[in-house]
Structure 1
Amino acid sequence: MTQPAPSAQQGGPGAGPPLELGKDDPGPAAPGGTRLFRPDLRTLALLGVLAALILVGGITRPDEFLATTNLQLVLVQSSVIGVVTVGMTFVIMSGGIDLSVGAIVALASVWATTVATQDFGFAGILLTAVLVGLGCGLVNGVLIAYGQMVPFIATLAMMVSARGLALLITDGNTQIVTVESVLDLGSRSSYVLGIPPLVMVFALVTVVGWLVLNRTTFGRRTVAVGGNAEAARLAGIDVRRQRLYLYLLSGLCCGIAAFLLVVLSGSGQNTNGNLYELDAIAAAIIGGTLLTGGRGTVVGSVLGVLIFTTITNIFALNNLQSDVQQIAKGAIIVVAVLVQRRSAQHTT
């Protein structure tokens, strides 16, 4: 008895790009398509939560929270983890995970701030941070895509190794940046129309990430691999190569974030990027990215970052303990996961 040929919706050999079929479909495939021009209920809900937090901050600490300098601070603090989250969103959408992003940020920041690197000036620091990020992403990608290692294990090994190497390089000391052109980027004199350069970089990475996800075959392949890797393979997608590229992208984002952190702090430390992996995953989850892959948005992830950063800022201004902040963040993550599960049940 012959088996029926896979249908287009199943991603068979004769199927078109999986995401194209879901353009006008309100189901899971649609968020990876062009529907971002028409925000869905989740995006509107995230905007509502962010607006509510701004209202709370304005009521509890109107003079401090609504001050221009504080709003600029919130955006600057969102920039570093925001860039990491954009890369994490792509990885999770493919059905993977990257636990090493925080350690990669730490390693890239200390490698880029060694005395030997600083001798090459601004370009040397930036290039080193990016190359270290890409190198770590390459190792992760090769181990996962071609070594058939589970992403959790491979990136956990990278997390431990990168932290250890960062500690070895610094010997536990803080490496101070002496390159004036790098330090100037973090000063208020470098703001353009009141916008810090770090925020501009974050915005640029977000726009590029959105375009790549929604306007390129790379984005469609990412969603297809996350939705059904076997169907994607039958449709002609090189799944292993796609996964390699995704971890390279995550590493690149970590390298950029490391440079931004160096600009922000004026130093490199082996403790940089602590818990960034958890913050990035949490932001992506509440932004609507499924941990099982196949669905997610860059816009939602960025809103998740802004929500978490705003919560932290409000709690700090109201002198609330950090443990209360963590409890609030944990509650938000639980609610987001429950909403995801409910949405998935309605679409099946």
Structure 2
Amino acid sequence: MTQPASEAPPPPAVTPPAAKSARPALGLRADVRNLSLLGVLAVLVAVGGITRPDTFLDTSNLQLVLTQASVIGVVTVGMTFVITSGGIDLSVGAIVALASVWATTLATQEYGFAGVLFTAIVVGVACGLVNGLLIAYGGMVPFIATLAMLASARGLALQITDGRTQIVTVQPVLDLGVPDSYLLGLPPLVLVFAAVTVLGWLLLNRTTFGRRTVAVGGNAEAARLAGIDVRRQRLHLYLLSGLCCGIAAFLLVVLSGSGQNTNGNLYELDAIAAAIIGGTLLSGGRGTIVGSVLGVLVFTTITNIFALNNLESAVQQIAKGAIIVAAVLVQRGTLRDGEA
């Protein structure tokens, strides 16, 4: 018996070619960006090996580069999430300073290792909470809210220390920075940075939280209409940024053995720059943890090469600026090729 035409099964849905190719194209552009940064990093390693072959490629110096990258790297992971959502956080350096000095006061150090670590993280999260509440529920522009936090946190850090350096006397904290604590030749700080990077990548790329972050950054109103609580998402993102600052503050205390109100100076600019050259859009809607980490390694390697060659910091800043411009131009060219 022939089936009536009205009851014939509908034809199979056909996915538009553009939708099929969109995800591979995005992945290809991300791969090109990361390969470009790896190329820059390889050139820098070659330059360091040629100019200072006796010291640059030494194991202790490479460990130092990774250790120095760990502190700003953890901050950059948090910054990547914030920028991906279309926000900005200018207070990360000041939060690191405040968390480091609060964690190294005499009263805090009486509680030992746990007291120092707990205080650093709580101060970071508390500052992130204030930022998040002002921005998400207070309606303040992220630039203004975090700028106010920058000034306030720096001022409070100065008041706590009275301009003095607070020396760490808790031996377990100091022990994390000595070679005897290295695991497989890697300092504990580097292992913490690696763990934060892996967790950050999983959170951004394999969870609903990450997809919501990208959606809010791409179009906040569309995200709201799709059922995403945009305000709560933004609050959580600044809490995450504050948490990363607290972890970085503890790592900095271990690295320097002290707490100072000048800690974290210009971290906000370094973190933003590393995220941007890594491929995170400043306007939001796209972020990459791998690219941000590569950006951190590029900047840290530049700093190390300049220090070993006794070059002026002014020239170092010019080189960093040139790399930022070059990286952005490469990314724009890649985007145009992908859209063609």
Deviation of the 1:58 alpha carbon: 1.0
SS in 2 for 1:40: helix
Deviation of the 1:24 alpha carbon: 5.3
1:247-275 deviation digits (Å, cap 9, x = unpaired): 00000000000000000000000000000
Indicate whether 1:131 and 2:122 are aligned. yes
The alignment's TM-score, normalised by the length of structure 1, stands at 0.89
Deviation of the 1:169 alpha carbon: 0.3
1:53-112 deviation digits (Å, cap 9, x = unpaired): 111111111110000000000000000000000000000000000000000000000000
- Consecutive unaligned residues of structure 1, counting only runs of 5 or more, are 1-20
Match of 2:132 among 141, 157, 164: 141
Indicate whether 1:269 and 2:269 are aligned. no
What percent identity do the matched residue pairs reach?
81
Q: Distance in 1 between matches of 2:327 and 2:309?
A: 25
Indicate whether 1:325 and 2:323 are aligned. no
Match of 2:65 among 74, 77, 88: 74
Q: Distance in 1 between matches of 2:85 and 2:24?
A: 20
Paired residues of 2:103 and 2:119 also in contact (CA < 8 A): yes
Deviation of the 1:338 alpha carbon: 2.9
Indicate whether 1:305 and 2:303 are aligned. no
Paired residues of 1:290 and 1:340 also in contact (CA < 8 A): no
Indicate whether 1:161 and 2:152 are aligned. yes
Give the counterpart letter for 2:79 in structure 1.
M
Indicate whether 1:55 and 2:46 are aligned. yes
Aligned to 1:335: 326
1:110-151 deviation digits (Å, cap 9, x = unpaired): 000000000000000000000000000000000000111000
The alignment's TM-score, normalised by the length of structure 2, stands at 0.91
1:6-37 deviation digits (Å, cap 9, x = unpaired): xxxxxxxxxxxxxxx7895245xx4xxxx49x
- Consecutive unaligned residues of structure 2, counting only runs of 5 or more, are 1-18
Aligned to 2:227: 236
1:154-188 deviation digits (Å, cap 9, x = unpaired): 00000000000000000000000000000000111
SS in 2 for 1:86: helix
Paired residues for 1:208-227 under 5 Å? 208-227=199-218
Match of 2:193 among 188, 202, 208: 202
Aligned length: 321
Paired residues of 2:30 and 2:279 also in contact (CA < 8 A): no
**Cα distance change of structure 1 residues 298 and 333 upon mapping to structure 2, 3 Å threshold:** same
Indicate whether 1:25 and 2:23 are aligned. yes
Paired residues of 1:129 and 1:255 also in contact (CA < 8 A): yes
